[in-house]
Chain A
């Protein structure tokens, strides 16, 4: 008897192999060939299959011939294994990693332009300090703040700052990398 193959199989005991909806947010890290049109293929696949992308970030990797697309989507709405299997069918997609939440460092950068008359500057700067954000530009009426962090941190900062008059917010979308195993 081969290991892993039970002797007896009762039909009642068979479970469907794919759990459909995971119910959580997923970060997919996708390695693609660095060629014209690849992003259009990935984006097109999402619209064609009716999948919604929450965030998307594209950038180079340490290998010139390969780019990385990091995208996040909601596993409560989309069956993630169907999404990854469809992505795999794109000939230019080399590898897909569905990042494990516990083993992943995920970060996003955001720029906030906040209305900042002289009287509220101190308070805004204080917020920025608490969040370890940097003030990168100041004008008579506004300040621009740069913040890097987890999604939660960025959203928390946004909530704090919004009452002061958020003029504009620009976010990169998350990028992620797997944590190294403790001294393996």
Chain B
């Protein structure tokens, strides 16, 4: 406990059990807040939401066996989205390990491919060192989940805590963060010679807390900028230089700009296949600068011409400075901007609007933007609603958009919102949920009620696994297979059963008002918003196709 406190931990999310009884006993009178989740997966996503909202390490705990295996999805999610998290699991007593003891699961083995690092504590005297090393590894370089597995007998041992004297001794772990200055100079010169540059920024900029630095680079010469789903908010939307999100459900302006660019400046983005589509036709005219703290990301999917390994926070200011020093001619991008403006005029994001009656899902997101004044932390589940939020809620600050991108974990939104609200109690936190997703972790409504965490759940209820239905409609000849949700549950009653407030709205004219009421109400609220069931999310690049093949 003392080691956790020394790491600045104030909140832990988890569930007790036999193997971590000693730890929970220590929590009983520790000066730490423990949020008792209702499923370990929920605890894990809470830790993620906490980390994403605050930039601090999120901590979740579970007992051995089923407690630990319930964490696996959250650990994988944290790994895919590079979320700084520490997972502490109980393990059976040392003498039972390997005997198929009661509630024994080889959680270190199970999680080997999905952790940044893991450790099984072997000597109780070293437990504090393990904890410090875990926090160090989770939060530095490219962040990620670290698992600490503690056998029950070892967590019982009473040890004197001596505060760590320095950084942990990890001979094989030395992230490079500075960025090679020669490479940075070459990059600046390449930019100065580019007539059709685009900045492609990603979640790494948010993680680096480098939004200001990114803006400075973009402003240094009116560079067009697009971002991934995970990078939204690092650059303000809307803005003259903002092209919108790129990728599968990005804007045409962003995707066409990537397609025609002569130089792409990738910052903290990992060339995911939702961005590149068909690799052979991805940005065929472009050379690439890639700034990333993880050397293995460079040239992993797309060969890069000017790699810069380093922390965006340190590299971007140097790059901006070097670029400005070159005094490049700004007018070189004038034609490029004409072309981009033409795409923006021709293909704005749009949908058929209506004043009353059916609620269009896009209109729901726009209402949410107005009701929150654009000033809330929004978490999301996975599906169409997630994409519409990315398109229509204009994030203008980092750490305001919290979602599951890499793993695409349905059921992420509610627990992540709880974690975010715990991290940022003064902010409004809204979970934009999907009806398919919400039920996967709806038990955490009980957590919100029990701990008085006033998150607001705006449920985009289309009666379908909408994203899957859309694919079946478009690519599988409309053969709807297991995508309808049917009438169950009654969400208002479900909310009430948990002790939360339940509300429902069915007319588009009333959505914003209902949302304002939900925001004003005390405590956790679930607002069931009945939207058009068969609306499709456009535009889109069909999987495995190229930017030019965008439809809708």
Contacts and interface: CB of A to CB of B under 8 A. Distances in A.
Interface of A: 2, 4-6, 8-11, 14-18, 20, 32-33, 36-37, 40-41, 44-45, 48, 79, 81-82, 85-86, 88-94
Interface in B177-204: 181-182, 185-186, 189-190, 192-194
B108 A37 contact: yes
The prevalent SS among residues of B at the interface is mixed
Nearest to B286: A11
Given A16-B304, A17-B305, A2 B172 contact: no
B76 to A, nearest CB: 12
B295 interface: yes
B338 to A, nearest CB: 20
* Interface size, B (range): 35 or more
B64 to A, nearest CB: 17
Nearest to A49: B113
Contacts of B113: 44-45, 48
Given A8-B189, A20-B303, A44 B170 contact: no
Contacts of B475: none
Given A48-B113, A89-B294, A91-B172, A18 B303 contact: yes
A93 B112 contact: no
A36 B120 contact: yes
A81 B108 CA distance: 27
Interface in B293-345: 294-296, 298-300, 303-307
B287 A11 contact: yes
B298 to A, nearest CB: 8
A111 B305 CA distance: 48
Nearest to A3: B182
B303 A11 contact: no
Contacts, number: 87
Given A20-B299, A89-B296, 11 more contacts: A5-B185, A5-B186, A8-B193, A10-B193, A17-B303, A18-B303, A37-B120, A85-B296, A91-B170, A91-B172, A94-B171
B171 A82 contact: no
A83 to B, nearest CB: 9
27 contacts: A2-B182, A5-B186, A9-B190, A9-B192, A10-B193, A11-B263, A15-B305, A16-B288, A16-B304, A17-B299, A17-B304, A18-B299, A20-B303, A33-B171, A33-B172, A36-B120, A37-B108, A40-B109, A44-B113, A45-B113, A48-B113, A85-B298, A88-B296, A89-B116, A90-B172, A91-B137, A93-B172
B112 A40 contact: yes
Contacts of B117: 91
Given A10-B193, A11-B190, A17-B304, A82 B296 contact: yes
Interface string B103-143: 00000110011001100100000000000000001000000
Contacts of B108: 37
Contacts of A92: 172
A33 to B, nearest CB: 6
Nearest to B118: A37
Contacts of A32: 172
Contacts of A9: 186, 189-190, 192-193
A44 B114 CA distance: 10
Contacts of A79: 299
A87 to B, nearest CB: 9
A17 B181 CA distance: 16
B305 A85 contact: no
A92 B299 CA distance: 24
Nearest to A87: B296
B263 A17 contact: no
Contacts of A44: 112-113
Interface string B146-170: 0000000000000000000000001
Contacts of A14: 190, 287, 305-306
A10 B192 CA distance: 10
Contacts of A6: 186, 189
B262 interface: yes
B196 to A, nearest CB: 10
Contacts of A4: 182
Contact of B299 (A16, A45, A88): A16
A77 to B, nearest CB: 16
A41 B115 CA distance: 11
Given A5-B185, A91-B173, A18 B304 contact: yes
A82 B300 contact: yes
B434 to A, nearest CB: 30
Nearest to B288: A16
A48 B181 CA distance: 34
Given A36-B120, A40-B112, A5 B182 contact: yes
Interface string B511-523: 0000000000000
Contacts of A41: 112
Nearest to B141: A89
Nearest to B307: A17
Nearest to B322: A5
Contacts of B298: 17-18, 85
Q: Chain A CB within 10 Å — which of B137, B172, B194 has the most? A: B172
